[in-house]
Structure 1
Amino acid sequence: MRLRTLGRHGREAIKSLGRNSWMSFASISAVTVALLLVGLFLTVMLNLNTIANQVENSVEVDVFIDRTAKPAQQDALKQQIEQLDHIKSIQYVPKEEGLKEFIKSMGDDADVFKSMQGKENPLPDKFVIKTTDPKQSITVAKQIEQFKYVDEVRYGKGYVEKLFHVVDIARNIGIVLILGLLFTSVFLIANTIKLTIVARRNEIEIMKLCGATNAFVRWPYFIEGFLLGLLGAVIPFLLIAVGYREIYQWFIGKNYQSYLFVKLIPSDTMTLYLGGSLILIGALIGIWGSMTSVRKFLKI
């Protein structure tokens, strides 16, 4: 297609939006409302998924070394662990550092344990292990329990399994809800756009009777559907982007990240994800709604 012809189709699409302003407004409104709901739910689900990943990645395996193990035997144990599958990192924590961490975690109740510093330390040395896949922590912990010079292995047994189960259920429910909401939005938006095309079926029939090809008739509606979807996506994108930025700044300002141990998706990153998703969905639905409506009137 020539650039000149494409420009003509673009001008016709814009003129059509103006001539049928009320129907265009109805279509854009339908896209706006539907994508506003999709955008809000998508924002929540993306953050919940991010928090779930953070919680999963915080799972670690603590391997307490037998107190009788000498440095050479500790090194041999470390090499054994490194040879296992799914090992991401191994950190050696001597008992002196372990006592400091324990005292810090106890807060105001640590006075009794502070007196132990510089004296006989009852805590053992340990390895802190992270796996490439958090769900493999359970398997890795059970394997390490069988190794020599391992006094005890802790990974939150009983709680970690429940955590992974709850996270999986939440993700599956989120996926189902997102797909259901998207399907409903597609149906609503596409049918609203179809009404704008059906109202102009006589115009399409006249163009066909005058010898216009299917492609010549279809292109202005293709561009019009794209513009309707695009315009309808811009408003919810701006509303959600501005609102999310304010919520994110408030969350950071209240310092919730420090004691809730979770981080929201940064506002700039969310704006990028959200803008791309909503504009793409809106444009595709607009095009699809226009094309499916025009097709039935091209068979003359």
Structure 2
Amino acid sequence: MKYNIVSYFFGEGFRNLLKNKKSTVSCLGVMCVTMLMFGLFYSIGKNINHMVKEIEAEQGMQVFIVTEATQDEIDEIGEKIRKINGVNQVTPVTQEDAYNQMKERLGDRQSLMEGLEPSIFKSSYLVTLTDLTLNSSVQNEINELENIDKITSSNETINNLSTIGRWIRIITGGILIILIIISVFIISNTIKLTVHARRKEISIMKYVGATNNFIRSPFIVEGIIIGLLSSIISVLLVSGLYSFVANKITMADFDLGVTVLGLGDLLTQIIVVYALLGMGIGIVGSSISMRKYLDV
């Protein structure tokens, strides 16, 4: 019995699509364009967030140790810093390393360092973070450790990156919400045409005792089919377009200093998001279009 009901719902859903070919095709076309834009903005947003994260991973602080500290004490400080929440990587910079770095910076003026010994420099640790918003709390915890001389940090750069990342998420999220609303409106109007054409049939079904869910189900199936078909077409279009653009950027002569996400990194996410989005938009759109005709 349940099988017959389900087959009836799907049969009616497909019949509605085929009966209104022009509106179905136009709806698919507009939906594909809308979802293509969704996919492009989604991909751009993911890549920008990825690039910001890569830049964030290079930002951090340099923790200088007092010159009186022994090597064991320096090593102990390094271990304690690694255990602090929010710390990503801890790289030791010895006095010898600091001395050589200064010589490299001076370039042709290395003669200025004649007579100087590595011992004039302080040992330090370069510390990167998992999340730049934890910069202040990590600094406070490090300052509580013994034998810390000072901490230098590009706080302005860190704050700017955090702000950029936050606004990118807000703008991308806003655009995606607008596109979802547009998609719901398109499917709702398309199914409304079918519902309007069958309004007398719906009234008779209501009169003989059919439940709202029974009447609504074929139209929900129609909305889901349109949503899923749009999703499948859009996934193919976005995948092809993204691969083309990503390859061009990767093979370009200029160096961005950051990497672009490969299609493999995004494809699973795009398929899942599109499938859920397609079904969700179909269900919501068809439900909205049915409300007027079920209130009889």
Instruction: Please confirm whether the aligned pair reaches a TM-score higher than 0.5, indicating the same fold.
Output: yes
Mean Cα deviation higher: 14-23 or 130-139: 130-139
Work out the CA distance in 2 between the residues paired with 1:98 and 1:239.
52
RMSD: 3.2
The runs of 5 or more residues in structure 1 that have no matched partner are: none
Q: 1:93 to 1:199 in 2, by over 3 A?
A: same
Counterpart code for 1:165: T
Task: Kindly indicate whether the alpha-carbon contact (under 8 Å) linking 1:59 and 1:137 is maintained by their aligned counterparts in 2.
Answer: no
Cα shift readout 1:232-251 (whole Å, capped 9, x = no counterpart): 22222211111101122222
Q: 2:126 aligns to what SS in structure 1?
A: strand
The runs of 5 or more residues in structure 2 that have no matched partner are: none
Mean Cα deviation higher: 244-253 or 286-295: 286-295
1:167-178 mapped onto 2 (5 Å cutoff): 167-178=165-176
Cα shift readout 1:146-186 (whole Å, capped 9, x = no counterpart): 65533432211333223323332333233333323333332
Task: Kindly indicate whether the alpha-carbon contact (under 8 Å) linking 2:41 and 2:176 is maintained by their aligned counterparts in 1.
Answer: yes
1:270-289 mapped onto 2 (5 Å cutoff): 270-289=266-285
Cα shift readout 1:219-273 (whole Å, capped 9, x = no counterpart): 32221111111112222221111110112222222376xx433222221121221
Specify the alignment match of 2:190 in structure 1.
192
Equivalent position to 1:290, from 283, 286, 290: 286
Specify the alignment match of 1:58 in structure 2.
58
TM-score scaled by length of structure 1: 0.82
1:149-188 mapped onto 2 (5 Å cutoff): 149-188=147-186
Work out the CA distance in 2 between the residues paired with 1:226 and 1:55.
41
TM-score scaled by length of structure 2: 0.83
Q: 1:129 to 1:231 in 2, by over 3 A?
A: same
Mean Cα deviation higher: 38-47 or 62-71: 62-71
Are 1:120 and 2:101 counterparts?
no
1:1-300 mapped onto 2 (5 Å cutoff): 2-78=2-78, 81=81, 84-99=84-99, 110-113=107-110, 120-121=117-118, 123-145=121-143, 148-209=146-207, 212-254=210-252, 259-300=255-296
Counterpart code for 1:20: N
Work out the CA distance in 2 between the residues paired with 1:114 and 1:173.
52
- Taking every aligned residue pair, what percent have the same amino acid on both sides? 27
Task: Kindly indicate whether the alpha-carbon contact (under 8 Å) linking 1:138 and 1:155 is maintained by their aligned counterparts in 2.
Answer: no
Q: 1:157 to 1:2 in 2, by over 3 A?
A: closer
Task: Kindly indicate whether the alpha-carbon contact (under 8 Å) linking 1:56 and 1:134 is maintained by their aligned counterparts in 2.
Answer: yes
Q: 1:190 to 1:100 in 2, by over 3 A?
A: farther
Task: Kindly indicate whether the alpha-carbon contact (under 8 Å) linking 1:60 and 1:155 is maintained by their aligned counterparts in 2.
Answer: yes
Work out the CA distance in 1 between the residues paired with 2:184 and 2:135.
41
